[in-house]
Chains A and B, each alone.
Chain A
Amino acid sequence: MWYGVCSLGEVGSCGSWIPYKKFCRSFLKLLVCVLAFITSPISWAADYNLFIETGTVNVSASPETGNGAITIPVWSYTDVNGGTATLPGTLLESVEGGSITVSVRNNHNRSHNFVVQGLTSDTTAIQPGQTRNYTINTPTAGVYLYSDTLNSNVNRALGLFGALVVRPSGGVKRAWTGGPSFNQERLWVINDLDKPRWTDVANSGGTVNTSVYKPNYFFMNGMNGFQAMGDAATNLEGSVGETFLVRIVNAGQFDQSLHFHGNHFLTISRNNTRLTTFEWQDTINVKAGTTAMVLYTLEQPGHYPMHVHTAQLETGNGVYLNGTAAMIIAH
């Protein structure tokens, strides 16, 4: 709507000095235009411009059985105006003690918001076509879930979530300033969705019965299991002795119990609460809507899976290994 007011022709007319009445009218328009530009993503020059869009996520078939390929509609935060939504939302990055500015434009046909868990409290709805700006202070290094908190989890379940990673300043490879060091870092944003009862209903404009949630698809960085296990940016691949910092964000509604083969890892923080003494584990329960950070050091060569140790979460709609998974590959 602001863009309509500020069409180039009208801006041009603001520059005309005669006649007086027209000038006044045009001057008011100019004022409005200037104000609009100040609050618009273009002139506000935010660090991140996010756009709420619709799109799809493609689930690939199991190479074992050929089963399971499907396309599922999603809503998400993207970094392209008019772009196509994918999972997860655009990665936001900041440094410890710093801040970032984020402008969120809602190009979807219903209202949404943008909340960074533990860091922002503005839950105001962004109406369709509107833009809202946020300044996010990031005093503590870690990993944060951002999401749309409206509509009883329906909007988040449809895909409106992402991660904010906060690193120590100066590019140091530590989990936080003075914290444990690592060689490589990975981000695992996991989520679940209930296609028939939530996604399909909400996407076609219906009302979701939120008391029933039976997720049948599970994603790792927006990928089904077989895609994720072949994704270099997801897998922990390196030389024996290398340590990975894995930042995990559970954007779904099911707790996920992630089991790592190969060797134990050190849990160093849960939901950005740093453990006073780190704990060795081979399975970490990342509860719905929380985050965790673990250090996984490749102790022996070989190929090892990481998977969820829970029945249906190992599948995509019942197709084995198409749920939450990754590979650990040590040379």
Chain B
Amino acid sequence: MKNYIMNLSGSKKLAMVGLILGLVAVLLGNPYDNTFAKVNVKELSVEAIRDSEIINVKELAEWIIEGRVDYRLVDLRDEEAYKNYFIPTAVNIPTSKLLESNLMRNQKILLYCEDNIKAAQGWFILKANNYKGVYILNGGVESWKDEILFPSISANASPEEKIEFDKMVEVSKFFGGSPQVGETEGSKEIKMPKIEMPAAIPMNTSGGKPKREGC
């Protein structure tokens, strides 16, 4: 057997190697299998401590108003909640379907849910699967409501607070919200704006302009 192999020509040896690699490939099956993942725990814990992957709602509001398209906003809630209201430009991908979605590993992905916990779970799933730029919207939809749609100010606010609030009123109106002045909490029912897009915003489904590629 050994002699037989030694006596083969160079190209035949290469052909044998190719055949063996092919046979092994059959056993390995699919490189896309993402059921099991290997996690760099150290890297993840460092990122978790640094808070660098947390975006707050005001930043997001600015991005949407500016019409930025270099990120994808993902709503992790179920379909029903999404239909009821979603942050403009978001796409709905429930956590269980994250890995089957068409999100790309080189995209900037901003996750949100009702609160931070659910979003953090999605963040971990994506991070464990080697997605590079995954971010969490701090406070999720609740923060979006409190700070962007229905910002409130107490009647005895300082002048600085008032200037800040005036800015927020503009932002709030842009997204169809209604700013609250004084002690209105709980006194009347807050109505969610309809999920019609503000006309100025392009719907961001493509995940930004793809890099030039192909030949």
Whether A and B are associated in the same complex: the answer reads no
